[in-house]
Amino acid sequence: MKYMSLIEYSDDWLKYAIAYQLNHQPKEKIINLKNLAIADPRIKKYLSDVYHFHDQLVTNHKNPDLPIHKLLFLLDLGFDRDIPEINHGIEEILKHQDEHGLYLSMTNVPKHFGGTGTDVFSWCLCDAPLMLMALVKAGVDYEKHIKRGVDYLISLYRDNGFPCAVSKELGKFRGPGRIGDCCPYATLIMTHLLSYIPEYQNSELAKSSVNNLLNLWENSLTSHPYMFYMGHDFRKLKAPSNWYDILSVAEVISKFEFARSEPLFLEMIQLIKNKQQENGFFIPESIYLKLKDWDFGQKKERSPYLTFLCYRLFERIA
């Protein structure tokens, strides 16, 4: 079996992901490992938060405690709707949909930022694609529940990427950038969403979106739309991949076969590979303080999960 060193240092929840995604074992063959993974107190806490999906107000999309980030983390490990808490979380998402087919989060944007100052179900282009992506990854019927929202978000595309856009409930709110700029994070997660939809995986839209991300990398010293930088901090290895950093961007681009030989993409991959330790592991260079209980929530020791993300990325493009 491959990746024995990684498995040796991994907790049960990560052993399950390694078995399923790196060693490609069928889920029905690793049920015992799955049960051990679900028994981990941290996974239990994530499942509980996903079950109570709309109980937490969305005030900062970078916050790793948001249920949508936790749901995507669980789905990315290989868990699915046969776990009651995940199924209930998906059902909670499906309850709140607007006229465009987009699913809503409970938010509150202060009046001085252009919002209403009240708790309201709404969407931003920095969360709406994540909601649709979660539904796709959870196996929700695409034509019935997802396509209309995807079509609407795609209609917002401009030549330089996806803009900062919000639902009518958020009034005149807009991020700190020029109105004609793309929002790099919105462009990243929209590109990620496209990677899961067969009809878009080799589309001109996907190629243009990937090219916009690569252009931001190529011009990282001078182009910082909406204050999203690709500088020193961007280049630090960080997990999980739920924001705007080199591993998150490389992960998304790697999902498009047409992009895997692009010189700018390979430049990013080489930078990541250069950070690998002699023992094969990777050490986080930046962390979310709220995630200090996980192996990727510290900057001194090897992180099996961060290493798993890098190995999966390298295997995909090999």
Per-residue pLDDT of 172-182, as tens digits, reads 777 777 888 89
Task: Supply 87's token pair.
Answer: 């199924």
- Asked whether residue 152 is assigned to any structural domain, the reply reads yes
Residue 115 has a pLDDT of 67
Residue 207 has a pLDDT of 98
Q: Are residues 246 and 173 in the same domain?
A: no
- The tally of CA atoms less than 13 A away on the side-chain side of residue 290 is 9
Residue finishing a domain among 155, 179, 200: 200
Q: Are residues 120 and 173 in the same domain?
A: yes
Q: Are residues 151 and 271 in the same domain?
A: no
Q: Which residues of 42-54 are buried (b: 16+ CB within 10 A; e: fewer)?
A: ebeebbebbbebb
What SS3 class is residue 100?
coil
Q: Are residues 61 and 155 in the same domain?
A: yes
- Asked whether residue 4 is assigned to any structural domain, the reply reads no
Q: Are residues 194 and 250 in the same domain?
A: no
Q: Are residues 242 and 301 in the same domain?
A: yes
Q: Are residues 266 and 186 in the same domain?
A: no
Residue 1 has a pLDDT of 59
Q: Which domain holds residue 83?
A: 40-200
33-42, 163-172, 250-259, 300-309: which range is least confident on average? 163-172
What does the pLDDT average to over 161-176?
83
Q: Are residues 165 and 312 in the same domain?
A: no
Residue finishing a domain among 153, 182, 200: 200
Q: Are residues 184 and 235 in the same domain?
A: no
- Asked whether residue 6 is assigned to any structural domain, the reply reads no
Query: Has residue 230 got a pLDDT over 90?
Result: yes
What does the pLDDT average to over 73-92?
98
CA trace torsion 104, 108, 112, 115 (10° rounding): 30
Average pLDDT, the chain: 94
Query: Has residue 113 got a pLDDT over 70?
Result: no
- Asked whether residue 296 is assigned to any structural domain, the reply reads yes
pLDDT band at residue 204 under the 50/70/90 scheme: very high
Identify which of 125, 126, 135 has the alpha carbon closest to the alpha carbon of residue 197.
135
pLDDT band at residue 170 under the 50/70/90 scheme: confident
Domain count, the chain: 2
